[in-house]
Chains A and B, each alone.
Chain A
Amino acid sequence: MPSSRKKPDSLLESLSEKLSKSSDLEQRSLCTAEHQVKLIYLKSVCDSATLNRFILTPFFETESEQSYENYIASFPGTTSSEDIKEILDYILQGRVGIVFNSGKIYLFEAVRVEAGPVQDAQTEVIVQGPSDSFNESLEVNMNLIRRRYQSHDLKAETTTVGNKSKTSVAIMYDQTRIDPDVLAEVKRRLEGISIDILQASAELDKYLSANKFRLFPTTIVTERPDRAVFNISEGKIVLLVDTAGYAVILPAIFNDFFTAMDDKLQVLPVGWFLKTIRYIGLMMTVTLPAFYVAFTSFNTEVWKVQIALLVSGSRATVPYPSFMEVILMLLMMEFLTEASLRLPKAIGPTATTVGGLILGTAATEAGLVSNIMIILVSAVAISNFVIPLNMMGFTIRVLKYGFIFLGTIYGLLGVVLGMVGVVMYLTGLRSFGKPYFRMFSVDRAKVSSSSKGERTDG
């Protein structure tokens, strides 16, 4: 038997030494005539009401030490340990160490979680359908998923990530539908993460991916429980991070980023229509500026005569080449987006008014940019916002500058080069061994079971 059992005081001493200079460390000694125990805990992470009700009051009501020990041990959250490091971890998590005279230490769960109530989704708003979103507590999040997926096949394994933050990460999946290779790969990568602090789910996404420098997100970060549940039912893995209000879904394919959760609520043709709209939006936001540069500076003969005249007439006063015009206006648009994102809610609308209305009108009247340019920039911005998931939206925002560059050098030819390049890049990507981009990816549930032998380098 380890020495800690013989000398309860030395155990307490070494614990309090480790936790010294913590003003929230609480050490208590409870004694009645018959028996006595010692408590050690951090009061900042423990719930004092629970403590009073389930530890203090019963102590004075029980007659013997043995019956109190039995009472404490009967709680489902109570554990016992003899390893000092493990005990320390438990106390830091928010457990109360109860040391009996026999030297046995029980760790009673009295953790206080400060997390807001379940709120409506903020970043993925839908028209109809459930509107609750994950919050900062892991248990609440698991509850949100379990309640929607009442099957014994739904498994939830927990590990910790982060040397200092010790954040618990729950891996949730349906064991009958999942590809075991992917699961093993995820677990392997999770173990390989060596960072001090993990605070956000998106961070996890960054450390999980095999290729650090990539353009497209290969995991979905979502705040919607219904999306998480839907993906679990499709055989994907959901990672829930404690203290982060978002879940990571993997593996993710390109098409997932263009699916909103209310697509399924619509009548079938409407759903198709919405999806088509999003892909058209994608094409427009990426290629419109590049096409503008290509067609005004390179291949003016492409346009119908009327349109060519219209554009060049509207550009007559503009004193610089078209690509300067496009880049200037797009940058202004990016500033506007960024500014209205970070500004306090009260000032936000002012920025949009000043930027959008006044700047746009004044710039065209001054002859610095053409009217058509303003229309184009707004079209690009709006069609960018059509993409339902933010991560992809940001990627696309960056991508269009690459196309403008190609359009500036090569004209129409450059835009085509860019498109082929992006398609090749996308098909070369793998999300945890699954092909990221394919034409007919709808039958992926069937494919996933038949394509296990696929090579994953790429």
Chain B
Amino acid sequence: MVKSKYFYYLFLINALINIINFVPRGLISHRFSGAMMSVLIAVLIGTLFIYLFVKGMSKFPQKGLPEILNENYPRIISSLMLLGHVVLWYTAGLITLLSFVDVSLRYISSDVPSYIIMIGFLVVVCLSIRLTSESIMYALEVLIVLNIPLIIYFLLKGLLNPYFSWDAVMQIVTYSWTMPSYESIAQATFIFSGYINLALFNRVFKNLKVRHFWLIGVMGFLILLISFLVPIGYQGTVGIERHVYPWFTTADALRTKTFIVERVLFMFYFTYLTLSLVSTIVHWHVALEFTKGIFVSKKQRTSPKRSIEWWIIIPFSILALLGLKMGQFTLDHLGLMYLDVRFVGEMFMILSVYFTYWLKRRRRRKT
């Protein structure tokens, strides 16, 4: 059992990883057409979703989504629902991995073949997702806490830089009253959607109490603004649209004079590689456990043998290796499309949790 504080880490990992998962890219493409407004709306929606989902899951103490669905629905329906969620979670991790392979090739190891990099990632990720949920939470905590000082350093470095163009930022702020589109709202809400991992990790929380929802809102708002506006401050309002990974280009513009490593990019890469690996581990762990939930034998209600995990992990890995065939353009599209679809998936998830609770209560009243 873990304490409630681990919920904030789940929130933080998604909030920090948004840079890799194309959130800035999506927002920047809407920068003149409602991105600012969608940031504001996303903060409201995100905080509301977190509140609703935490309340909803607290009706099922120490149960994950597979148990909740399997107990209350016929086999076929629960399996289908789980399968849908598996696809979403798997894609989340997949996009993080694929775009990080791309980043590595572009900025760090241009002479290592992409599939070798991917195999390296997959070995670490696939061995790790088999750990218990508690272990993954502990690792999440360790890696986030170790990396936060570095991230704060990057931010200070970035914001205090005299070459940072506040004018460009102000110009974008003047577009605040433009009405946003569905896409930009969906993309902006991604940074809040770490909470959705609770669908599985609820198993290990001992009476989860989340306080300070407003704090999550404020944090999310700041993180969104930073990840959207800081690249604009460096690359300019128009020049920014040429960059696929605006944040890596931004980090490459920074320089430390007093350290043995001069280009901030490498420290940034270091930080974000650890974070994206652990984020993938979290997402794929959920996907793995949900897939196992599909194969739970109805009669004994026991989880399947641990050896079955390999039969899930192998297709996961093969798909990821095949994913390398995707060009950058397709990956970019897939990433943005995923952000849009995921928003619907989240709403569906929250509704299904409440609906299941209602169903369960009505059934109990009848008997």
Chain A positions within 8 Å of B, measured between CB atoms, are 298-299, 301-305, 307, 406, 409-414, 416-417, 419-421, 423-424, 426-428, 435, 437-440, 450-451, 453-455, 457-458
Tell me, yes or no, whether B269 is within 8 Å of chain A by CB.
Answer: yes
Is B131 a contact of A458 with CB atoms below 8 Å? Answer: yes
Interface of A is mostly: helix
Is B260 a contact of A307 with CB atoms below 8 Å? Answer: yes
With A299-B266, A411-B112, A421-B127 already in contact, the answer to whether A455 and B132 are too (CB < 8 A) is yes
CA distance A428 to B124 in the complex (A): 13
Chain A residue with minimal CB distance to B62? Answer: A453
Pick from B120, B128, B141, B206: contact of A439, CB under 8 Å: B141
CA distance A412 to B136 in the complex (A): 24
With A303-B262, A427-B136, A438-B142 already in contact, the answer to whether A414 and B120 are too (CB < 8 A) is yes
Tell me, yes or no, whether B39 is within 8 Å of chain A by CB.
Answer: no
Give the residue among B139, B145, B277 with the most A Cβ atoms within 10 A: B139
As a 0/1 sequence over residues 254 to 271 of chain B, the CB contacts with chain A under 8 angstroms (1 = contact) are 000000111100100110
Tell me, yes or no, whether B116 is within 8 Å of chain A by CB.
Answer: yes
Is A413 a contact of B273 with CB atoms below 8 Å? Answer: yes
Counted as pairs of residues, one from A and one from B, with CB atoms less than 8 Å apart, the total is: 113
With A423-B143, A454-B1 already in contact, the answer to whether A410 and B112 are too (CB < 8 A) is yes
Is B260 a contact of A417 with CB atoms below 8 Å? Answer: no
Tell me, yes or no, whether B168 is within 8 Å of chain A by CB.
Answer: no
Pick from A409, A417, A427, A458: contact of B277, CB under 8 Å: A417
Chain B residue with minimal CB distance to A435? Answer: B138
With A301-B263, A303-B262, A411-B108 already in contact, the answer to whether A420 and B132 are too (CB < 8 A) is no
Residues from chain B with a CB closer than 8 A to the CB of A299 are 108-109, 266
Is B109 a contact of A439 with CB atoms below 8 Å? Answer: no
Is A427 a contact of B127 with CB atoms below 8 Å? Answer: no
Residues from chain A with a CB closer than 8 A to the CB of B269 are 412
Residues from chain A with a CB closer than 8 A to the CB of B136 are 424, 427
Chain A residue with minimal CB distance to B132? Answer: A458
With A302-B266, A303-B261, A439-B145 already in contact, the answer to whether A413 and B138 are too (CB < 8 A) is no
Residues from chain B with a CB closer than 8 A to the CB of A440 are 141
Residues from chain A with a CB closer than 8 A to the CB of B161 are none
CA distance A230 to B142 in the complex (A): 26
B 86-132 contacts with A by CB, 8 A = 104, 108-109, 111-112, 116-117, 120-121, 123-124, 127-128, 131-132
Is B120 a contact of A417 with CB atoms below 8 Å? Answer: yes
Pick from B108, B117, B131, B278: contact of A420, CB under 8 Å: B278
Is A411 a contact of B109 with CB atoms below 8 Å? Answer: yes
With A412-B269, A413-B108, A451-B1 already in contact, the answer to whether A435 and B135 are too (CB < 8 A) is yes
Tell me, yes or no, whether B274 is within 8 Å of chain A by CB.
Answer: yes
Tell me, yes or no, whether B134 is within 8 Å of chain A by CB.
Answer: yes
CA distance A409 to B277 in the complex (A): 18
Is A427 a contact of B131 with CB atoms below 8 Å? Answer: yes
Is B109 a contact of A413 with CB atoms below 8 Å? Answer: yes
Residues from chain A with a CB closer than 8 A to the CB of B262 are 303-305
Given A307-B260, A421-B123; 6 other pairs, CB 8 A cutoff:
A298-B109, A413-B120, A421-B128, A435-B134, A454-B1, A458-B134
| A114: min CB distance to chain B, Å | 47
CA distance A367 to B278 in the complex (A): 43
Pick from B120, B132, B274, B281: contact of A410, CB under 8 Å: B120
Residues from chain B with a CB closer than 8 A to the CB of A302 are 261, 263, 266
CA distance A451 to B281 in the complex (A): 24
With A298-B109, A303-B261 already in contact, the answer to whether A416 and B139 are too (CB < 8 A) is no
Residues from chain A with a CB closer than 8 A to the CB of B135 are 424, 427-428, 435, 458
CA distance A439 to B263 in the complex (A): 29
Residues from chain A with a CB closer than 8 A to the CB of B111 are 298
Pick from A413, A420, A427: contact of B104, CB under 8 Å: A413
As a 0/1 sequence over residues 275 to 316 of chain B, the CB contacts with chain A under 8 angstroms (1 = contact) are 001100100000000000000000000000000000000000
With A299-B108, A299-B109 already in contact, the answer to whether A416 and B270 are too (CB < 8 A) is yes
Residues from chain A with a CB closer than 8 A to the CB of B116 are 409-410
B 126-179 contacts with A by CB, 8 A = 127-128, 131-132, 134-136, 138-139, 141-143, 145
Pick from B117, B123, B145: contact of A413, CB under 8 Å: B117
Is B117 a contact of A428 with CB atoms below 8 Å? Answer: no
| B45: min CB distance to chain A, Å | 31
| B202: min CB distance to chain A, Å | 15
| B222: min CB distance to chain A, Å | 23
Residues from chain A with a CB closer than 8 A to the CB of B128 are 420-421, 424, 428
Chain A residue with minimal CB distance to B255? Answer: A304
Is A421 a contact of B124 with CB atoms below 8 Å? Answer: yes
6 A-B pairs (CB sep. < 8 Å): A299-B108, A304-B262, A420-B128, A421-B127, A424-B135, A439-B138
Is B121 a contact of A417 with CB atoms below 8 Å? Answer: yes
CA distance A438 to B135 in the complex (A): 9
Is A454 a contact of B134 with CB atoms below 8 Å? Answer: yes
CA distance A410 to B273 in the complex (A): 13
